[in-house]
Structure 1
Amino acid sequence: MIKYIGQTRILVAVDCIIFGFDGFDFKLLLIQRGFAPEKKKWSLMGGFIQPEETLEVAANRVLMQLTGLKDVYLEQLQSFSGPDRDPVERTIAVAYFALIDIHKYEKQISHEYHAEWFLLKDMPQLIFDHQEMVELAKKRLRYKAALHPVLFELLPDKFTIPQLQALYEGLYETEFDKRNFSRKILSTGLLVKQNEKDKEGSRKGAFYYKLDKRKYSENFQAFLKFIPNPDKFLV
């Protein structure tokens, strides 16, 4: 096999920032690292890319190992190439973020990695530059969710407007006016009202909605402006 002469070999890894929603809270999935250095400290789920893999294949493999889920929303964030980011060997990491419905995840969890969900405000200190990865992923997702219906990837088949509002409030770590939020969401035409109500939250209850998947697919890249003045959340 021909090789480039005089070049240093560098490892390439993928790290997955996994966001989830359980119907009440927007959360981040972390694992306890199982080996040195930084053993038992909190980390993103990651792994080294194998010779036969593309970056996307490796990221999906890592996600599958932890959650047992396939075909979830997965987007490349950026690469992290600081020469000293990994104290063991020179490693370039390519970060991805994923969006999953936590209830789909619960029955398929791999206990091998001691995984745990955290609210963004309760996130522990992470190893290496994983904290920076999470902050950049949060900023990217806030920007996208302000303009596109990407957060619907986190929802179950049927959901209520209060649940949807809780999802947005969890990501943006703020509160939105209920009437304005409801009016804005319904004006997109993406939701189909159901006859059934969820009465767990109040005596009156809240109607369930389903996503019009055809309109969702057609408008996924459209600028629907779910959140007014999104720039104030991108700090």
Structure 2
Amino acid sequence: MVSEREFLDGYDPRAYPAVAVTVDVVTLTIRDGVLHVLLVERGEQPYAGRLALPGGFVREETLDQAALRELAEETGILPRVHLEQLATFGDPGRDPRMRVVSVAYLAFAPRLPDPTVGGDAAAARWVPVAEASGLAFDHDTVLAAGLERARAKLEYSPLATAFVDEEFTIAQLRGVYTAVWGEEPHAGNFHRKVLSVPGFVEPTGTTTERGGERGGPRSKLFRAGDARVLHPALLRPTPEERA
């Protein structure tokens, strides 16, 4: 059996193809009731001038650290957000420079600020997801994967509470589902289902300072509960239910 030292002594890096590792971050927030994704305009080749997801090459750091660093360097945003690994993308030819494997991340939070461009990006801005297409590299595919992950997680996890403030109304929570799913749940059914899921939300014992736009009663305020999985799940309407 070859020892580790014998292996290293005989190791020839030229025998292996060079592969670089990058990170890309799908950052989502809701602005004016519409789901937005954070994009940067590339300032360098390849794809100079094209919109892309924030990201870049991994240095002597963890993948999580690289994702947060690139987000901060290219957009000026270092949010206290939920951040999770999304998927790995490594098809040959996805980057014309060399073989590049990208570890994609999904991040989201409420009320994220306007970005401040930096790093090798020429510009950065929030773009409605419905208008985000024709991105550099394979970032259309990466974004689609991030959107599907977010939509699915709303069904089975309390992810929606990461898009609202610490205290929120059921109507505001329903607005998150509407923005992310792209369709509005039935108000009465949604209210009943949310309150029937153990640990999803818990009442604060307080209400909003004023009533609705039509002068109705003040709404009860809630905060996120301690549930990690929603049971029963809040499922998206099926095609038959939409018909």
Name the TM tier (shorter chain).
Answer: 0.7 to 0.9
Q: Within 2, Cα distance between the matches of 1:231 and 1:13?
A: 38
CA-atom RMSD, angstroms?
Answer: 2.5
Report how far residue 205 of structure 1 moved.
6.0
Report how far residue 128 of structure 1 moved.
1.3
Q: Deviations over 1:166-208 (max 9, x none)?
A: 2101111112111111111122351325222455744326525
SS at match of 2:162: helix
Partner residue in 2 for 1:182: 191
Partner residue in 2 for 1:127: 136
Change (3 A) 1:223 1:186: closer
Q: Within 2, Cα distance between the matches of 1:206 and 1:124?
A: 41
By relative contact order (CA 8 Å, sep 6+), the higher-ranking structure is: 1
Structure 2 unpaired stretches of 5+: 1-7
**What is the number of residues matched between the two proteins?**
224
Q: Within 2, Cα distance between the matches of 1:126 and 1:228?
A: 28
**Is this contact kept in 1: 2:41–2:50, CA < 8 A?**
yes
Q: Within 2, Cα distance between the matches of 1:198 and 1:30?
A: 36
Does 1:9 pair with 2:21?
no
Report how far residue 48 of structure 1 moved.
0.4
Q: How does 1:213-224 map to 2 (within 5 A)?
A: 215-216=225-226, 219-224=227-232
Q: Deviations over 1:21-62 (max 9, x none)?
A: 236222211111111121121100001000x21212211222
Partner residue in 2 for 1:195: 207
Report how far residue 226 of structure 1 moved.
2.1
What is the percent sequence identity of the aligned residues? 27
Partner residue in 1 for 2:113: 106
**Is this contact kept in 1: 2:133–2:140, CA < 8 A?**
no
**Is this contact kept in 1: 2:71–2:77, CA < 8 A?**
yes
Report how far residue 71 of structure 1 moved.
3.9
Q: Within 2, Cα distance between the matches of 1:42 and 1:115?
A: 9
> Which of the pair has more CA radius of gyration?
2
Question: When the two structures are superposed, what TM-score results if normalisation uses the length of structure 1?
Answer: 0.84
Q: Within 1, Cα distance between the matches of 2:209 and 2:117?
A: 35
Question: When the two structures are superposed, what TM-score results if normalisation uses the length of structure 2?
Answer: 0.81
